[in-house]
A and B are shown apart, each in its own frame.
Chain A
Amino acid sequence: MNIDRESSESEAPAYHLILEGILILWIIRLLFSKTYKLQERSDLTEKEKEELIEEWQPEPLVPLVSKDHPSLNYDVVTGPPSHKIIVNGKECVNFASFNFLGLLESERVKLKALSSLKKYGVGTCGPRGFYGTFDVHLELEERLAKFMRTEEAIIYSYGFATIASAIPAYSKRGDIIFVDEAACFSIQKGLQASRSFIKYFKHNDMEDLERLLKEQEIEDQKNPRKAKVIRRFIVIEGLYINTADLCPLPELVKLKYKYKVRIFLEESMSFGVLGEHGRGVTEHFGVNIDDIDLISANMENALASIGGFCCGRSFVIDHQRLSGQGYCFSASLPPMLAAAAIEALNIMEEDPGLFRVLRDKCKHVHKALQGTPGLKVVGEPLAPALHLQLENSSGSRTDDLKLLRAIVDYVRYNNRSEAKGRKRCGRKKCTSNRDNHTLKRIVKQNPFKNVGEIHKEWTVAGVSASRTTTHRRMQDMGFSCRIPCVKPLLNNRQHQKRLASKRTGLLLSGPKLCSLMKVNFAFPLEIRVPESGGREERHTIHVA
């Protein structure tokens, strides 16, 4: 056996060795040969490249837009955009500007702007860092901080850029932002620029927010080291521009401390509107302003200037002076606009009664517009921008828009209150100028009285004129007032009929809408109440 094996072993080597030798050589070759790619890559020749370049056809820079797109031709306003406004050559009452306090036409503001113009010229010719900081800017920042009762304020030269720059100054890649899904467009741009992780919660739904916060808490427990560096923010609006709803700030502050999240609050619609002194939602709810990490607002609505500001604790705000892109890299606010904003703040501080008047009017119009057939008023009664919504949507956005547009156009052009006073007929006027002044004063004291009450007061003041004369004089002065209904406009049967016809879509023929005359609606149907245009709202009162 042994011999056999030996003999067989000694026999094997001849081919075996050769085979092994070849194998080893093969392995060596494999080891030293160039690694080959799975995907064979053949480089294109120059000619092929040229052909590809020749072949490539880009899309047009912009798609064509049809010439008759409704928003392509903007309405042209001639003259100042005050409470009487000339749109496309037609005089309307302005219910479309965000000029909540009527400061746009304030002479004081204009004078201050003019004197600033005399001193500084128009432009600043530089960003804040490079000789673009004027003493007026510093004053405005100080005044805003004082007005809002915060440590510091910072101004931007464009309202839109304020919150859009502020968010990415703090929140970076990897951080988390909880944001209300109804947040306005500039917030959304800020979120996008921050490149953070965005979590939307349902509009004003605190339970939904808490659910998200809890989810995050569980997530954090899994990876506590990472959780220590992830910044979290809640971004909300005080008064939502998209829905006219108030944010539930006290609950939000509670959640803030429970889950240790910072709150950024955008107050463009509520600054100068809500609260006893116009400080916004914090004052409205009595929330300590230091509990809000950052408040931003624009100066283009209530303050009727241009630009925006952020305010809060110095610890937070100061960071933007180097990191707020819209602050660092943009030319600073023209000093005359800053001066105008300071004067507007002066007016707001001197007369907090403004806010009460505005509030009363908001509530009034909100109430008055209730029950407009086919339309419903949504949102907070205190909101100065009223949102009217279609009761029954047709289901298609374009159709809805068309209908709303039709209502707006109807309201703007089918204006029945054109006949203002009579033409001269030769008869002597029965009241003197002095009497008329008395009437004006009476009306100004309380604009919400009806014609009977005003007539009574006028008679008490020693003027004997009929009720019709009272009404006519008031109209001549540009006021309009309510004549109380003796009998309802519609009886019960007519009312039912009207409701039925409304449901079938014959909305525009309703006489009630006709009485919304001379009201100039902005395109997404919102009515804003200008302070000084107060009396004209009376037109809408007929609706109620």
Chain B
Amino acid sequence: MFTLVPFVVFRYSFFNVDSLHIHHFPHRPFVESFEETPLLVAVLTYMGYGILTIFGYLRDFLRDWKFEKCHLAREREEQKDFVPLYQDFENFYTRNLYMRIRDNWNRPICSVPGAKMDLLERVTPDYNWTFEHTGNVLKDVINMGSYNYLGFAENTGTCADAASECTVKYGVGVSSTRQEIGNLDKHEELEILVARFLGVESSMAFGMGFATNSMNIPALTGKGCLILSDELNHASLVLGARLSGSTIRVFKHNNMQSLEKLLRDAIVHGQPRTHRPWKKILILVEGIYSMEGSIVRLPEVIALKKKYKAYLYLDEAHSIGALGPRGRGVVDYFGLDPSDVDIMMGTFTKSFGAAGGYIGGKKELIDYLRLHSHSTVYATSMSPPIIQQIITSMKCIMGEDGSTLGQERLCQLSENTTYFRRRLHEMGFIIYGNNDSPVVPLMLYMPAKIGAFGREMLKRNIGTVVVGFPATPIIESRARFCVSAAHTREMLDKALNAISEVGDLLQLKYSRKNRHGNEGSDSFSFLESHQD
């Protein structure tokens, strides 16, 4: 984990010159940085975890001997002699590490998750074991945590109006599956629109993004097939791959050499032991990786996929709407042809401010999924107002509502992202990921700083997400900001000032790189030439 390539610059000018989307070809450099963890910080982080673990054992010992009150829910008396439901070590982490900083997660909100939100104030009488709501509301907290990239999480405006009209007409539920009687005209309308939006032949929508992955991958591959999965893929892709029963091999994050080696070996050696050739090979990648902020090297992946006749499954959960000059995701960002991606998957939760997921691709693929996807046969279809929200917001992005609002949002997001990332970089924080990705991870490293950062930011009326192990590698705890088109420059400045302040307080400005390089200004000039 120390060997992540620091600051790689690639230019994609030689890729796909003959592509149909040549006029959208990005002239921007592909800048992705994963600055190496400073050695001292790494050592201190490990020490931090060591100390926490020692204290954890001590506390467990005290709890065992009833010196300390145990707040954990207990097994029922009648079932004391059953096999324990949890092994002791399983919850060690939860009990002794997570509990200390639990107040940073699950903060209840009581407003639209827009650029600003209202949070319910919580207090804990017993060090985070239980929470009580005081009844006070923290007003107008700047929301840097929600995946509201295009700012469609709104309770007013065309989207909300259309959704409420739809509620009046259809109600909220459907109570049936797609194959039975739950296929409303709204579903059909949505699927046609999604296919048009993505530029694919056909598409299909599902009620939950997570299930879209976990229930459809098994329909595509099975025994005798090989899945090549990025090491940082989302849990839903991992689950889907496991449920499929295929062999799974993992390549290093966004590392094309690693992927190519796996592909070559797989075809040359065939299946393990029997050496039969693989039936098919499926590559699973994400558009934007939500914890790293990196963008998949799609042109290279497509080149490899074509060379080795593999199939490509692209999960655009975070990138759809958030990337590309037309908001069509990572394919649009690189100016590629959507038909080069075999399976285009994405969610409606993030940029569209709704819920659910979709799969787009060739007509044969979608027809097959209509028959064989577990979700269509057994799961209730999507709620009509949710569909309406997607339809309205998607039309807005496409400019089909007759306004330029969608385009403005896309530009705003891109501008905000560049500004936010550049400022953080200048302040001397270690920021991971691609310069164009609206997901901005800021490295905290030490476990104690996770809790401190989250709390200090909330004190300054800014809601952020902090993540630690097991969502990240053990020493790479981080805070994550999601930039939104709804953020105004003032909000971003306020947030940045607060981050800088807290950064000084907690000594987070680890970066040892040149802080005022021309790289940032480069991207800026690009942006202007890009907004034609």
Is A350 located at the chain interface by the 8 A CB criterion? no
For B226, the closest partner residue in chain A by CB is A58
For A302, the closest partner residue in chain B by CB is B175
Chain A residues in 8 Å Cβ range of B155: 117-121
Known interface pairs A71-B179, A305-B173. Does A193 touch B243 (Cβ–Cβ under 8 Å)? yes
Which residues of A122-141 are within 8 A (CB) of B?
122-126, 128-135, 137-138
Interface 1/0 per residue, B76-98 and A, CB below 8 Å: 10110111111100000010001
Contact B349 A65 (CB under 8 A): no
Contact A56 B81 (CB under 8 A): no
Question: Complex formed: what's the CA distance from A72 to B349 in Å?
Answer: 27
Shortest CB-to-CB span from A489 to chain B, Å, is: 30
Contact B355 A331 (CB under 8 A): yes
Shortest CB-to-CB span from B114 to chain A, Å, is: 7
Chain A residues in 8 Å Cβ range of B375: 160
Known interface pairs A49-B268, A120-B155, A135-B108. Does A94 touch B181 (Cβ–Cβ under 8 Å)? yes
For A118, the closest partner residue in chain B by CB is B155
Contact A114 B168 (CB under 8 A): yes
Is A523 located at the chain interface by the 8 A CB criterion? yes
Chain B residues in 8 Å Cβ range of A232: 83
Shortest CB-to-CB span from A265 to chain B, Å, is: 16
Shortest CB-to-CB span from A92 to chain B, Å, is: 9
Question: Complex formed: what's the CA distance from A260 to B83 in Å?
Answer: 8
Contact B168 A110 (CB under 8 A): yes
Identify which of B49-57, B142-150, B422-430, B493-501 touches chain A.
B142-150
Contact A124 B181 (CB under 8 A): no
Chain A residues in 8 Å Cβ range of B160: 117-118, 121-122
For B72, the closest partner residue in chain A by CB is A315
Chain A residues in 8 Å Cβ range of B511: none
Contact B172 A340 (CB under 8 A): yes
For A131, the closest partner residue in chain B by CB is B145
Q: Which of B98, B183, B208 has the most C-beta atoms of chain A within 10 angstroms of its own C-beta?
A: B208
Chain B residues in 8 Å Cβ range of A77: 181-185
Identify which of A81-89, A442-450, A461-469, A471-479 touches chain B.
A81-89
Contact A98 B175 (CB under 8 A): yes
Chain A residues in 8 Å Cβ range of B76: 290, 313, 315
Interface 1/0 per residue, A55-78 and B, CB below 8 Å: 011111111110101011011111
Is B519 located at the chain interface by the 8 A CB criterion? no
Contact A231 B353 (CB under 8 A): no
Chain A residues in 8 Å Cβ range of B371: 65, 69, 71-72
Which residues of B382-428 are within 8 A (CB) of A?
382-386, 389
Contact A122 B109 (CB under 8 A): no
| Chain B interface residue count, Cβ-Cβ cutoff 8 angstroms | 116
Is A518 located at the chain interface by the 8 A CB criterion? no
Is B15 located at the chain interface by the 8 A CB criterion? no
For A100, the closest partner residue in chain B by CB is B175
Contact B309 A57 (CB under 8 A): yes
Contact A316 B208 (CB under 8 A): no
Contact of A58 among B278, B377, B378 (CB under 8 A): B278
Is B188 located at the chain interface by the 8 A CB criterion? yes
Question: Complex formed: what's the CA distance from A184 to B354 in Å?
Answer: 29
Which residues of B103-142 are within 8 A (CB) of A?
105-114, 117, 120
Identify which of A319-327, A354-362, A368-376 touches chain B.
A319-327
Known interface pairs A97-B176, A325-B235. Does A158 touch B379 (Cβ–Cβ under 8 Å)? yes
Chain A residues in 8 Å Cβ range of B78: 257
For B75, the closest partner residue in chain A by CB is A315
Contact A81 B172 (CB under 8 A): no
Is A336 located at the chain interface by the 8 A CB criterion? yes
Contact B210 A329 (CB under 8 A): yes
Shortest CB-to-CB span from A471 to chain B, Å, is: 30
Contact A262 B264 (CB under 8 A): no
Which residues of B140-198 are within 8 A (CB) of A?
143, 145-148, 152-155, 159-160, 163-164, 167-176, 178-185, 188
Chain B residues in 8 Å Cβ range of A229: 83-84, 87
Question: Complex formed: what's the CA distance from A184 to B177 in Å?
Answer: 14
Chain B residues in 8 Å Cβ range of A193: 239, 242-243
Is B209 located at the chain interface by the 8 A CB criterion? yes
Interface 1/0 per residue, B255-299 and A, CB below 8 Å: 000000000100110000000011111000000000000000000
Is B352 located at the chain interface by the 8 A CB criterion? yes
Contact B379 A336 (CB under 8 A): no
Contact B378 A185 (CB under 8 A): yes
Chain A residues in 8 Å Cβ range of B243: 189, 192-193
Identify which of B40-48, B62-70, B361-369, B441-449 touches chain A.
B361-369
Shortest CB-to-CB span from A538 to chain B, Å, is: 21
Q: Which of A58, A63, A301 has the most C-beta atoms of chain B within 10 angstroms of its own C-beta?
A: A58
Is A96 located at the chain interface by the 8 A CB criterion? yes
Question: Complex formed: what's the CA distance from A326 to B234 in Å?
Answer: 12
Is B465 located at the chain interface by the 8 A CB criterion? yes
Contact A121 B113 (CB under 8 A): yes
Is B455 located at the chain interface by the 8 A CB criterion? no
Is B254 located at the chain interface by the 8 A CB criterion? no
For A192, the closest partner residue in chain B by CB is B243
Contact A124 B239 (CB under 8 A): no
Shortest CB-to-CB span from A138 to chain B, Å, is: 6
Contact of A134 among B110, B164, B347 (CB under 8 A): B110
Is B463 located at the chain interface by the 8 A CB criterion? yes
Known interface pairs A113-B167, A114-B168, A129-B106. Does A121 touch B181 (Cβ–Cβ under 8 Å)? no
Contact B73 A330 (CB under 8 A): no
Chain B residues in 8 Å Cβ range of A157: 208, 355
Is B342 located at the chain interface by the 8 A CB criterion? yes
For A343, the closest partner residue in chain B by CB is B172
Chain A residues in 8 Å Cβ range of B310: 58
Contact of A113 among B172, B343, B349, B370 (CB under 8 A): B172
Contact A334 B210 (CB under 8 A): no
Is A295 located at the chain interface by the 8 A CB criterion? no
Interface 1/0 per residue, A21-63 and B, CB below 8 Å: 0000000000000000000000010000100110011111111
Which residues of B182-225 are within 8 A (CB) of A?
182-185, 188, 207-211, 215, 220
Contact B374 A189 (CB under 8 A): yes
Is A177 located at the chain interface by the 8 A CB criterion? no
Question: Complex formed: what's the CA distance from A109 to B175 in Å?
Answer: 14
Chain B residues in 8 Å Cβ range of A75: 181, 183
Is A347 located at the chain interface by the 8 A CB criterion? no
Shortest CB-to-CB span from A193 to chain B, Å, is: 6
Contact of A99 among B98, B170, B175, B236 (CB under 8 A): B175
Shortest CB-to-CB span from B406 to chain A, Å, is: 17
Chain B residues in 8 Å Cβ range of A65: 364, 367-368, 371
Shortest CB-to-CB span from A520 to chain B, Å, is: 7
Is B10 located at the chain interface by the 8 A CB criterion? no
Contact A78 B185 (CB under 8 A): yes
Shortest CB-to-CB span from B52 to chain A, Å, is: 17
Chain A residues in 8 Å Cβ range of B184: 76-79, 81
Is B33 located at the chain interface by the 8 A CB criterion? no
Chain A residues in 8 Å Cβ range of B179: 71, 74, 523
Question: Complex formed: what's the CA distance from A523 to B383 in Å?
Answer: 21
Is B437 located at the chain interface by the 8 A CB criterion? no
Contact A304 B171 (CB under 8 A): yes
Contact of B311 among A61, A186, A334 (CB under 8 A): A61
For A105, the closest partner residue in chain B by CB is B171
Chain B residues in 8 Å Cβ range of A281: none
| Additional 8 contacts, C-beta under 8 A, given A117-B155, A119-B155, A134-B109 | A81-B176, A81-B182, A94-B181, A104-B171, A123-B389, A126-B145, A158-B208, A340-B173
Task: List 8 A-B pairs, Cβ < 8 Å.
Answer: A58-B281, A124-B146, A126-B349, A158-B210, A193-B239, A231-B85, A306-B383, A334-B386
Interface residues of B (CB under 8 A from A): 72-76, 78-79, 81-87, 94, 98, 105-114, 117, 120, 143, 145-148, 152-155, 159-160, 163-164, 167-176, 178-185, 188, 207-211, 215, 220, 234-236, 239, 242-243, 264, 267-268, 277-281, 308-311, 342-343, 347-350, 352-355, 364-365, 367-371, 374-375, 377-380, 382-386, 389, 463, 465
Closest 3 CB pairs of A and B: A158-B208, A160-B379, A62-B368
